[in-house]
Each structure stands twice: as C-alpha cells, then as structure tokens.
Amino acid sequence: MNDNTNVSTSYNIALIGFGGVNRALANIIATDPEAFYHEMGFNLRIIAVSDMFLGSVYSPEGIDMALLIGLPAAQGACANLPNGKATADNEDIIKNSNADIVVEATVTNSVTGQPATSHCRWALSSGKHVSTTNKGPLAFAEKELIDLALNNNVGFEYEGVVMSGTPVLRFADKLLKGSNINRFAGIVNGTANYVLGLVEQGQSFADAITSAQQQGYAEADPSADIEGKDVMLKVIVLANRLWNANLTQDNVQCEGITGLTETMVKEAVAEGCHWKLIGKASKQDDGSIVASVSPEKLPIEHPLAGIGGAVNAITFTSGMLGDVTVSGPGAGRIETAYAILSDIIAIHQRKEG
C-alpha cells in the first residue's frame, strides 16, 4: 500500500467504473473539501478513473475535479482530459498506479462475477485497499479475497452490496454480535419493490419497470432485479458473512416476480396483503444453511409488508433478541456512494487503529 500521509491524512483513490455511483462519490469528494476533512479527518484525492465506455485517465497528483465532474457521458470522453485516453486501462491502473484505495463499482455479472472479481484480486494482491459495491466478487470468491486482504494487510470492504447506503452488514457484525442470529428475511432489491408498488397503484409491470429505469433504480436490462438473481447474490453475501458459510448459487432456490400478474397484485391488496420479493436464509441445528428467494404474499401486520418504494428492510431473528428489523434506502446513486464512503471510513479507522 502507498502511504501518502503528510501533515494530514490523505488517500489516493482509483475509480473502476464511472457510472452513477462513482460519479456521485466524486461529487461528494469535490463539493466542499474543507468540510469533508473537518467531518472525516482525512482527505480523498481521485488519481485515476477507468471505465469501459468512457475510457481512462491517470494523474498521480490528482485529477482536476471540475473537469472530472463535468465529464460528459459520451464514449471515449476521458480522452479529452489531461493524461486521458479513449480506452479503459483497468488492470494497469489497479496494479501500477499510486492508488491507496480502489473503488470497484462496475456492473455486476451474476453468472461469472467478472471482471469485478479480477479487479478486486489485482488490487488486494498489489497491496491496495478495496471498496466494492459489486456483488459478484463476494458471491464467487469471498473467502479468497478476504484471505488476500488479510495476507496483504489491507481492507476489503463491501457494505453497499446488500442494502446500498443502509449499513446492514456492520449492524449485524457490531450491534447484533453475540445475539445468536439464526435467521434473516428481507426485501433487498429496491427495484422489484418499487415495481410492485407501482403495480399496486394500477400500472402494468412493463410501465412500472420503465419508471424504475427512469428513476435510476433499474439497469437497462432489469432481468437481474425482476428475476431474483440480484436478491440471490445478496442472500449469499449476507449468509456467508453472518455464519462463515460456503453458500453458492447452487444452494439457493430462486424465483423472481415475473410469475406474478397485475391481477394477483391487486387482489392481494384487496385482501389486505402485499406481494414482496423476499430473500431469506436460516441456520439449521446441524449447521447447514437453507436459503431461498421468492415472492411472498404478506399480511399487512407483517413487519416487511409496509416497506414501500425503493426502501429495503431485513428482519434478523436471534436467540437473544427475537426479531430485529432494519430498514433504509436500498437503491440510488447517492445512497450507494455513501456506502463506499462508509467503507473508506472503516479503512481509515482500521489504519489509524
């Protein structure tokens, strides 16, 4: 790891992927640097960006933030920046730049976990901290990457992968530690929840999905959200984190909301119920994990039934406390960028400690 600590602590950041989330992070960093340092106790300097569509730029002393914030979303746009070029340069930037922290925010590949898994592997192996919002590396190579981080004495943080800006992983790790969590069930896909809410209001599924895309909740290809694959990966990440399990996609029964109809959704409301896409897992007496993703018709008194819009919620069941429900934003660019910031804070506290 490169140590750029002078009078004040400063971290060099390389952004891999420059879509909505990393753009939002850049805006947070650039808005009021003095206030940021006063609040956080450290400075952040973006020294590299690499994006498959926009190209790449590497300036070891820091990229001009005004130019970066104003970068148009046009193919090869990085070529118009000083030291920029029209093509991505992920591997070289990750391995050979003077970055202290690599922020991996590329689109999740739910089939292979690539290229994000390689991005994390390269960074950790070269002694750089990693914050990722990408579920792929955790679902496909969590143990390997955690071991790499430990062996190279760097942080590997991924708070944003389950509930975006809501710190559910650290909540379970720190505030519920020792409570003997044996089950969780939750709404962990804001897109599916938002779509179901609009259908309840009378929209068709097609129109509701289009609205979710316009709001920035859904990708151009929304299949991972509506078919349940996104929830499945999050269930895997959370279960493995809670119970040090080896859950994979082969162990999780998965069904999305594509089997629901507008009529089914409206009839449920008339009955005083709500359809929700639920991801859940439980630890059995023999230590095995049972996990699934499926739509469930919940009665109004259920703690998850009233969760609306892009809000997410998870109910943890523990031997000592019973049910504890955590809810908060589960989608959105700013919200996910905040999760990255919380990862960087954790890396800083680890370093300072």
Distance in angstroms (rounded) separating the CA atoms of residues 169 and 256 = 24
Whole-number mean pLDDT of the chain? 92
Q: What are phi and psi of 320, to 5 degrees?
A: -90, -35
Q: Are residues 189 and 303 in the same domain?
A: yes
Q: Are residues 159 and 176 in the same domain?
A: no
Q: Is residue 4 domain-resident?
A: no
Which residue in the list 135, 234, 276, 280 is annotated as catalytic?
234
Q: Are residues 172 and 315 in the same domain?
A: yes
Contacts of 316 (CB under 8 A, 6+ apart): 172, 176, 179, 181, 183, 184, 323, 324, 325, 326
Q: Which domain holds residue 249?
A: 168-330
Q: Is residue 2 domain-resident?
A: no
Q: Is position 234 annotated as part of the catalytic site?
A: yes
- pLDDT at position 120 is 98
Number of structural domains found in the chain: 2
Q: Are residues 152 and 246 in the same domain?
A: no
Q: What global pTM score does this model have?
A: 0.88
Tens of pLDDT along 73-107?
Answer: 999 999 999 999 999 999 999 999 999 999 999 98
Average pLDDT over residues 33-38: 87
Tens of pLDDT along 115-174?
Answer: 999 999 999 999 999 999 999 999 889 999 999 999 999 999 999 999 988 889 999 988
